[in-house]
């Protein structure tokens, strides 16, 4: 029996619950891959010859129509529905709180098995709606500008908990295909997914891969792979694998133009430095002119935002089809940095633009509800670093910053 806080377990089938028929445990179907679901259906008595078709039918009910009750799966025989209800369940993480920002951004605090919590953010824009999902509770990495980085890793999310975040947002937004409606008849509210919430997705590779395969599958959530972006701090050995096995769009948390600065901001750089990272990106198998890699670059006052940084950034990424996404630093209580001024960000963006790159500046969204990039953190996770530890890692001496040491809790 797993203890509720067991770290980093991939219990794809979820912790057994004793609420099924005669104490039998029901298996959660959310997050099972096609082969896993097929095997589970066969084990429950589905004839092998029918299993493939049943997987497709059940997936459509779960991931396109948002059905949670087997009884509603009207294209399946009544007996078969009863069998499914006896062995399986369709479970998504529980929404604990939902906050809506002045700008329409929604932030969900979500509880997963073991009582852990992660945050999920929905960002509506004119032509799209982007859901920012988490892949881990906390993060093992310690980027010094990132709020999540101050929270130690508690565990990896399962594939079901990752794809479940898309499902709970669609519940809240009423974003399911309605009875009698065809796919693609109505614009989708969750049209894009970014793995930019809490955690380093490439350190939870299998669960992220399985969840994104369901998100991209025509009988699953049915999002085009171009509408899914995985952001990594630079886990070099997994980048090629992500290209081959997931094939979604890639974003890199670049943030600095010298190893000395990147070592401090994104400490994984000490393991795989800028040169190694760029070499891996050049080899990213899906690379083509229409598939640019996004370089994310957080603008930190006086740290990485000089004209020379902008010029060096352009030199470094030469030869890689790229766009550069400048992110004004989002402050959080105790953060050891300040956001660059608007004028500085503009000047930096101009140099990049003149070099021929699109250089959109990411508008901070949902700041009033702490939903902006890098502000996510589970309020109840107590394992956190002190301000002093964060500063020590950032290589900073005594810095005077905001005084809300405890307000993150
Ligand atoms: N762990 C992954 C994905 C999550 S972070 C990664 O690091 O890429 C998503 C993006 O927000 C990353 O580019 C991250 O560097 C950036 N970010 C983190 N903290 C931030 C902050 N306080 N302000 C602005 N951007 C931040
Ligand atoms: Fe982890 Fe990404 Fe935050 Fe770095 S920026 S600490 S990798 S979540």
Q: What is the pLDDT of residues 323-360, one digit of tens each?
A: 999 999 998 888 999 999 999 999 999 999 999 998 78
- Give residue for tokens 């790159």: 357
Report the pLDDT value the prediction gives residue 396, as an integer from 0 to 100: 36
Token pair recorded at residue 395: 């290589």
pTM above threshold 0.75: yes
pLDDT at residue 392 above 60?
Answer: no
Question: Ligand 1 centre from 233 Cα, in Å?
Answer: 8
Q: Which three-class secondary structure string do you get for the chain?
A: CCCCCCCCCCCCCCCCCCCCHHHCCCEECCCCCHHHHHHHHHHCCCCHHHHHHHHHHHHHHHHHCCCCCHHHCCCCCHHHHHHHHHHEECCCCEEEEEEECCCCCEEEEEECHHHCEEEEEEEECCCCEEEECCCEECCCCCCCCCCHHHECCCEECCHHHHHHHHHHHHHHHCCCCCCCCCCCCCCCCCCEEEECCCCCHHHHHHHHHHHHHHHHCCCCCCCCHHHEEEEECCCHHHHHHHHHHCCCEEEEECCCCCHHHHHHHCHHHHCCCHHHHHHHHHCCCCCECCECEEEEEEEECCCCCCHHHHHHHHHHCCCCCEEEEEEECCCCCCCCCCECCHHHHHHHHHHHHHCCCCCCECCCCCHHHCCCCCCCCCCCCCCECCHHHHHHHCCCCCCCCCCCCCCCC
**Greatest Cα pair distance in the chain:** 69
Question: Ligand 1 centre from 18 Cα, in Å?
Answer: 39
The residue whose CA is least distant from atom 12 of ligand 1 is 253
Question: Ligand 2 centre from 353 Cα, in Å?
Answer: 27
pLDDT at residue 149 above 60?
Answer: yes
Report the pLDDT value the prediction gives residue 327, as an integer from 0 to 100: 95
pLDDT at residue 408 above 60?
Answer: no
Residues 206-250: pLDDT tens digits? 999 999 999 999 999 999 999 999 999 999 999 999 999 999 999
Q: In angstroms, rounded to a whole number, what is the distance separating the alpha carbons of residues 408 and 376? A: 10
**Contacts (Cβ under 8 Å, ≥6 apart) of 395:** 264
Ligand 1 atom having least distance to the Cα of 251: 8
Report the pLDDT value the prediction gives residue 295, as an integer from 0 to 100: 97
Residues 40-70: pLDDT tens digits? 999 999 999 999 999 999 999 999 999 999 9
pLDDT at residue 285 above 70?
Answer: no
Question: Ligand 2 centre from 38 Cα, in Å?
Answer: 35
Ligand 1 pocket at CB < 6 A: 143, 145-147, 196, 199-200, 231-233, 253, 296, 298, 327, 329-330, 373-374
Query: Which of 133, 147, 203, 231 to mutate for ligand 1's pocket (most ligand atoms within 8 Å of CB)?
Result: 231
Q: In percent, how much of the chain has pLDDT > 70?
A: 84
> Mean pLDDT, to the nearest integer, of 383-398?
43
Ligand 2 pocket at CB < 6 A: 139, 141-143, 146, 148-149, 199-200, 233, 253
Q: Which domains does the chain have, with CATH numbers?
A: 27-89 (1.10.150.530), 94-408 (3.20.20.70)
Report the pLDDT value the prediction gives residue 376, as an integer from 0 to 100: 65
Report the pLDDT value the prediction gives residue 118, as an integer from 0 to 100: 93
Residues 89-143: pLDDT tens digits? 999 999 999 999 999 999 999 999 999 999 999 999 999 999 999 999 999 999 9
Report the pLDDT value the prediction gives residue 74, as an integer from 0 to 100: 96
pLDDT band at 286; cut points 50, 70, 90? low
The catalytic residues are 119, 373
Q: In angstroms, rounded to a whole number, what is the distance separating the alpha carbons of residues 279 and 240? A: 11
Closest-lying ligand to the alpha carbon of 254? 1
- Count of CB atoms situated within 10 Å of the CB of 19: 10
Closest-lying ligand to the alpha carbon of 362? 1
Q: In percent, how much of the chain has pLDDT > 90?
A: 72
pLDDT at residue 394 above 70?
Answer: no
Question: Ligand 2 centre from 136 Cα, in Å?
Answer: 10
- Count of CB atoms situated within 10 Å of the CB of 315: 10
More confident: 388 or 271 = 271
More confident: 79 or 386 = 79
Ligand 1 atom having least distance to the Cα of 375: 22
Token pair recorded at residue 346: 């503009």
């Amino acid at each position: 029996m797993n203890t509720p806080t067991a770290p980093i377990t991939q219990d794809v089938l979820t912790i057994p619950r004793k609420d099924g028929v005669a104490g039998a445990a029901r298996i959660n179907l959310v997050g099972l891959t096609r082969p896993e679901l097929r095997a589970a259906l066969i084990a429950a008595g589905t004839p092998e010859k029918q299993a493939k078709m049943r997987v497709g039918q059940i997936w459509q009910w779960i991931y396109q129509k948002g059905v949670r009750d087997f009884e509603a799966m009207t294209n399946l025989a009544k007996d078969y529905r009863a069998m499914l209800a006896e062995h399986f369940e369709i479970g998504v993480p529980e929404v604990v709180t939902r906050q809506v920002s002045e700008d329409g951004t929604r932030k969900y605090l979500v509880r997963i098995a073991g009582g852990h919590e992660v945050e999920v953010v929905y960002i509506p824009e004119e032509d799209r709606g982007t859901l920012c999902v988490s892949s881990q509770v906390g993060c093992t990495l310690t980027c010094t500008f990132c709020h999540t980085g101050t929270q130690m890793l508690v565990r990896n999310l399962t594939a079901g908990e990752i794809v479940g975040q898309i499902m709970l947002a669609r519940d809240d937004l009423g974003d399911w295909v309605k009875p009698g409606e065809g796919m693609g008849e109505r614009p989708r509210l969750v049209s894009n997914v970014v793995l930019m919430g809490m955690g380093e997705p490439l350190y939870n590779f299998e669960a992220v891969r399985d969840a994104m395969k369901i998100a991209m599958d025509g009988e699953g959530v049915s999002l085009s792979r171009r509408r899914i972006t995985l952001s990594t701090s630079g886990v070099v050995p997994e980048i090629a694998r992500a290209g081959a096995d997931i094939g979604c769009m890639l974003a890199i948390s670049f943030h600095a133009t010298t190893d000395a600065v990147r070592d401090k901001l994104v400490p994984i750089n000490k393991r795989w430095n800028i040169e190694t990272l760029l070499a891996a990106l050049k080899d990213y198998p899906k690379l083509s002119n229409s598939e640019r890699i996004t370089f994310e670059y957080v603008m930190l006052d006086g740290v990485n935002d000089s004209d020379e940084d902008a010029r060096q950034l352009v030199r470094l990424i030469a030869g890689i089809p790229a766009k550069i996404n400048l992110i004004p630093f989002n402050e959080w209580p105790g953060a050891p940095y300040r956001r660059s001024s608007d004028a500085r960000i503009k000047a930096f963006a101009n140099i990049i633009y003149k070099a021929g790159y699109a250089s959109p500046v990411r508008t901070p969204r949902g700041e009033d509800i702490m939903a902006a990039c890098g502000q996510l953190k589970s309020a109840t996770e107590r394992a956190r670093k002190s301000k002093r530890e964060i500063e020590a890692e950032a290589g900073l001496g005594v810095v005077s910053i905001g005084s809300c040491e405890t307000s993150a809790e």
